[in-house]
């Protein structure tokens, strides 16, 4: 256990971690709102699917570049100061995106928002690992992810409605103002864990390169990162980029309704993350739920792909179930904690996050290329129009990813309930 039972303060721990989780929610909003305003961006910035995929991937590229430094910084410096600095950078990116008039400017601004995201989720994981005992962390992480997904939900139908009525640029500026409010909230509420609670008190004396080498050689970190990345892929690509466009152009659903359906992936993840964390902590097992989640997600994805027509209710239910079943990806994080020495938690989490965000970034770029692959060049009112077969070239990657995630579980270790594997076992 990484937290002293005598010094554990549940109320303060929850307040701090939930306040930090609001930053995660805000960052996920920046990521998912691309889906809600995809049609507006394609038209206003004169982009095709390939360019839109590249624009979305700049956020993830920033993640990949800064995640490893973020983990190292969080292992050595105040998480509170780090999270405030990262949020400020994210706000700058949001303002820059609102003022962008070219594809390149939008990419640079979205890249800045991605830098903030590189620090936010890792910061939340560090706060959880330093404020809560090990046997409670899966549930707390699930709650933090649930809170984060609320940002994803807000970025769908609500943000689409706002952008439709006040223009997407004005909506983004309002979004930046929300970020400023959040900045001051975190400034006054979030605190670092007491030194006697903090894993930082056992910080490594082996040196930076030795620590990094130990984390890279930990196969469990790599496997858990890959499982999470593959299971998370539908959320990161469909939920954050192509869901609304697919539903509006293929199923002929109005944009506001399409954004609502796409947001149901996040709603499913909201319920599933806390539920998976709670059940996993109660039964003391992770892998069983992770396998069932990957298998169920595969069934949901294949159903979405094979339906040629469906009602608003059926599509909403399918997208909700996809988010619910794929939420078992949150169990990869406590597994990393259990398979990592306390002083290397941040670095190990950052390596896993590089895998998660890197694979998602590659998938977003590839998705745009695949959609454009057989596009007939049809443009209506300045926006490209894609067919069902165009989207299916992209969606084919998801069943392969989910099946691979299930197979990866063969090599993942599972520690005893409430315990952490020692460095020797690693």
Contact between residue 129 and residue 123 where contact means Cβ atoms under 8 Å apart = no
Contact between residue 358 and residue 325 where contact means Cβ atoms under 8 Å apart = no
- Residue 58 parent element (H or E): helix 49-76
What pLDDT was estimated at residue 5? 47
Does the residue 396 lie in any domain?
yes
By mean pLDDT, which of 41-45, 75-79, 195-199, 400-404 is the weakest? 195-199
Q: With pLDDT > 70 as the criterion, what percentage of the chain qualifies?
A: 92
Calculate mean pLDDT across residues 190-201: 60
With a CB cutoff of 8 Å and minimum separation 6, the contacts of 424 are none
Q: If pLDDT is split at 50, 70 and 90, which confidence band does 207 have? A: low
Q: Is the model's pLDDT at 302 over the cut of 80?
A: yes
Contact between residue 156 and residue 32 where contact means Cβ atoms under 8 Å apart = yes
Does the residue 198 lie in any domain?
no
What pLDDT was estimated at residue 305? 94
What pLDDT was estimated at residue 116? 86
Does the residue 422 lie in any domain?
no
Total Cβ atoms within 10 A of residue 81: 11
Contact between residue 294 and residue 280 where contact means Cβ atoms under 8 Å apart = no
What pLDDT was estimated at residue 86? 92
Could you tell me the two tokens for 76?
């050595």
Q: Is 83 left (phi over 0), alpha (psi -120 to 50) or beta?
A: alpha
What pLDDT was estimated at residue 181? 95
Calculate mean pLDDT across residues 371-376: 88
What pLDDT was estimated at residue 420? 53
What pLDDT was estimated at residue 7? 54
What's the DSSP call for residue 206? Answer: S
**DSSP-assigned beta bridge partners for residue 384:** 379
What pLDDT was estimated at residue 323? 94
Q: Is the model's pLDDT at 150 over the cut of 60?
A: yes
CA gap 171, 164 in Å, rounded: 9
Calculate mean pLDDT across residues 264-277: 87
Count of residues in the chain = 426
Q: If pLDDT is split at 50, 70 and 90, which confidence band does 422 have? A: very low
Does the residue 203 lie in any domain?
no
**Residues spanned by the domain of 283:** 12-190+208-411
Calculate mean pLDDT across residues 106-119: 91
What pLDDT was estimated at residue 35? 85
Calculate mean pLDDT across residues 390-414: 93
Candidates 40, 16, 37, 27; CA nearest to 178 is: 27
Calculate mean pLDDT across residues 74-81: 83
What pLDDT was estimated at residue 416? 61
Does the residue 334 lie in any domain?
yes
What pLDDT was estimated at residue 139? 82
Report phi then psi at 379, rounded to 5. Answer: -130, 130
CA gap 113, 147 in Å, rounded: 19
Does the residue 185 lie in any domain?
yes
Contact between residue 179 and residue 26 where contact means Cβ atoms under 8 Å apart = yes
Could you tell me the two tokens for 174?
């309002």
Contact between residue 363 and residue 236 where contact means Cβ atoms under 8 Å apart = yes
Q: Is the model's pLDDT at 2 over the cut of 50?
A: no
What pLDDT was estimated at residue 137? 77
What's the DSSP call for residue 309? Answer: S
CA gap 95, 152 in Å, rounded: 19
Q: Is the model's pLDDT at 211 over the cut of 80?
A: no
Q: If pLDDT is split at 50, 70 and 90, which confidence band does 233 have? A: very high
Could you tell me the two tokens for 317?
């239910």
Looking at every residue in the chain, the average pLDDT score rounds to 85
Q: Is the model's pLDDT at 379 over the cut of 80?
A: yes
Q: Is the model's pLDDT at 392 over the cut of 50?
A: yes
Candidates 219, 236, 268; CA nearest to 121 is: 236
pTM given for the model:
0.76
Q: Is the model's pLDDT at 159 over the cut of 50?
A: yes
Most confident of 178-192, 343-357, 376-390: 178-192
Q: With pLDDT > 90 as the criterion, what percentage of the chain qualifies?
A: 38
* More confidently predicted of 383 and 286: 286
* More confidently predicted of 413 and 344: 413
Helices (H) and strands (E) in the chain, counts: 18, 2
Does the residue 418 lie in any domain?
no
What pLDDT was estimated at residue 202? 45
What pLDDT was estimated at residue 176? 96
CA gap 382, 261 in Å, rounded: 25
Does the residue 333 lie in any domain?
yes
Number of separate domains in the chain:
1
CA gap 52, 54 in Å, rounded: 5
Q: What is Dmax (Cα atoms) for the chain?
A: 67
Q: Is 286 left (phi over 0), alpha (psi -120 to 50) or beta?
A: alpha
Q: Is the model's pLDDT at 199 over the cut of 70?
A: no
- Between CA 239 and CA 241, with CA 240 as vertex, the angle to 5 degrees is 105
CATH number, domain containing residue 101: 1.20.1250.20
CA gap 372, 54 in Å, rounded: 13
Could you tell me the two tokens for 308?
């040629």
CA gap 14, 201 in Å, rounded: 21
Calculate mean pLDDT across residues 300-311: 92
């Amino acid at each position: 256990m990484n937290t002293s039972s005598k010094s554990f303060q549940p109320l303060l721990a929850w307040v701090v971690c939930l306040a930090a989780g609001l930053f995660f929610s805000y960052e996920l909003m920046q990521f998912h709102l691309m889906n809600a305003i995809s049609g507006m961006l394609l038209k206003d910035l004169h982009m095709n699917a390939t360019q839109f995929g590249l624009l979305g991937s700049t956020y993830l590229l920033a993640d990949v570049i800064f995640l490893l430094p973020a983990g190292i910084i969080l292992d050595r410096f105040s998480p509170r100061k780090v999270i405030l600095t990262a949020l400020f950078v994210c706000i700058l990116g949001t303002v820059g995106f609102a003022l962008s008039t070219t594809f390149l400017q939008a990419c640079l601004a979205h890249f800045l928002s991605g830098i903030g995201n590189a620090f936010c989720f890792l910061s939340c994981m560090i706060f959880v690992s330093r404020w809560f005992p090990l046997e409670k962390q899966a549930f707390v992480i699930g709650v933090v992810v649930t809170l984060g997904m609320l940002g994803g939900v807000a970025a769908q139908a609500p943000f689409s409605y706002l952008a439709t009525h006040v223009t997407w640029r004005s909506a983004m500026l309002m979004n930046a103002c929300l970020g400023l409010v959040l900045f001051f909230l975190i400034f006054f509420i979030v605190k670092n864990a007491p030194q006697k609670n903090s894993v930082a008190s056992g910080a490594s004396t082996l040196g930076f390169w030795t620590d990094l080498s130990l984390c890279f050689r930990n196969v469990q970190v790599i496997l858990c990162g890959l499982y999470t990345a593959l299971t998370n892929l539908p959320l990161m690509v469909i939920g954050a980029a192509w869901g609304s466009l697919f539903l509006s152009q293929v199923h002929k659903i109005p944009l506001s309704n399409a954004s609502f359906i796409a947001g149901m992936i996040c709603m499913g993840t909201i319920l599933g993350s806390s539920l998976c964390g709670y059940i996993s902590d109660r039964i003391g097992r992770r892998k069983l739920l992770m396998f069932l989640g990957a298998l169920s997600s595969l069934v949901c994805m294949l159903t979405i792909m094979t339906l040629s027509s469906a009602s608003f209710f059926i599509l909403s239910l399918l997208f909700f179930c996809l988010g619910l079943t794929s939420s078992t990806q949150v169990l990869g994080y406590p597994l990393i904690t259990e398979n990592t020495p306390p002083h290397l938690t941040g670095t190990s989490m950052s390596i896993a996050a590089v895998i998660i965000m890197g694979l998602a970034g590659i998938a977003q770029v590839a998705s745009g290329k695949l959609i454009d692959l057989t596009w007939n060049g049809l443009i209506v009112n300045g926006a490209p129009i894609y067919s069902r077969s165009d989207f299916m070239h992209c969606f084919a990657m998801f069943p392969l990813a989910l099946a691979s995630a299930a197979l990866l579980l063969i090599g993942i270790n599972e520690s005893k309930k409430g315990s952490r594997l020692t460095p020797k076992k690693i």
